[in-house]
Structure 1
Amino acid sequence: MTIARRLAHAGFTLTRDYPVPRERVWDAFADESQKRSWWGGGDTVEPGEWAFDFRVGGHDVDEAAFHDGPVSRYEATYTDIVEHVRIVTTYDMWLNGVHMSTSVASLEFESTDEGTRFTHIEHGVFFDQFWADGPGREEGTRGLLEALGAHLE
């Protein structure tokens, strides 16, 4: 079977207001035990390889098998970190060993009177059979931000 070679580009911006101090939201990303508790698929996946290296140039890995489904692999490199202000990463995703996308994501943390405004901006390139996956990536990121909100409660 021949795979059609294509590229698609997708981008999105998601903003959430969390009723907790900016440092608390920041720590959910910067502290490994906190990130591990909310990041990923929860009970919907069987965890696999995990690596956490929160520093500029550091790499994160999160691999998991969905129950009765595919294996997803996330590999990120931190390209910019300004404490309590922003995190910028480049990351790649694989599904069952097939490279599906490369993305740049910026995470911004802003104090508000009510707590923290968190903004996730992402630009991705999707490859070949995954060319139409941009909306799915946005939906998955929405799920991560809901999990983050539950973690912060």
Structure 2
Amino acid sequence: MTTERRIARAEFLLTRDYPAAVERVWDAFTDEEQKLRWWGAGDAMEHREWVFDFRLGGRDVAEGKFHNGPVSRYEATYTDIVDQVRIVTTYDMWIDGIHMSTSIATLEFEPIEGGTRFAHGEQGVFFDRFWADGANREKGTRGLLAALGRYLTPRDSPA
């Protein structure tokens, strides 16, 4: 049996305006308790491992098993942090123990009238059987940004 070896590249930039001050949006990423409230798959998975080490050179790990589905593992390293301006990480993803991708992600925080303009840029390489997964990564990131928006928007707000 021959295993096909392929690689594909994907890149995207997603920008969102949130009705919250930069400090609040920043804290949603940098405070462990806050990040746990909005980041990840919520009730869609059984959480197995979580490591949160927000500092230059620090690592984050999130692993869980989707109900009736695969085990997903995320491992990130913080490579650049400028307080309330940007976060840069490199990260790897595995599905059922198979290395699927390596990415660099840039998170930018800009104050605007009425809140924060947040930009998530990503460049990734996808390996072998996951070579066509770039569109799914963008879709998943859109879901995370929607979850962040729900977290940042007060319940009594009309937004």
Structure-1-length-normalised TM-score: 0.99
1:114 is displaced (CA, Å) by: 1.6
- Counterpart in the other structure of 2:35: 35
Deviation at 1:137, TM superposition (A): 0.1
Letter in 1 for 2:99: H
Residue 104 of structure 1 aligns with which residue? 104
Note the residue ranges of structure 2 that are not aligned, 5 or more in a row: 154-159
Instruction: Give the aligned partner of residue 24 of structure 1.
Output: 24
Letter in 2 for 1:127: F
Q: How does 1:76-95 map to 2 (within 5 A)?
A: 76-95=76-95
Question: Take 1:88 and 1:119, find their aligned partners in 2: how far apart are those partners?
Answer: 12
SS at match of 2:69: coil
Q: Offset at 1:3?
A: 2.1
| Matches of 1:3 and 1:50, distance apart in 2 | 32
Local SS of the residue matching 1:27: helix
- State how far apart, in whole Å, the 1-side matches of 2:137 and 2:37 are: 21
Superposition pairs of residues 1-153 of structure 1, within 5 angstroms? 1-153=1-153
Name the CA distance, whole Å, in 2 between partners of 1:4 and 1:136: 21
Find the residue that maps to 1:28 and give its secondary structure.
helix
Q: Distance in 2 between matches of 1:41 and 1:34?
A: 15
Question: 5+ unaligned residues in a row in structure 1: which ranges?
Answer: none
**Deviation of 1:102 (Å):** 0.1
**RMSD of aligned alpha carbons:** 0.6
Higher mean C-alpha displacement, 54-63 vs 2-11: 2-11
Report the TM-score when normalising by structure 2. 0.95
- Report sequence identity in percent: 69
Q: Take 1:133 and 1:110, find their aligned partners in 2: how far apart are those partners?
A: 30
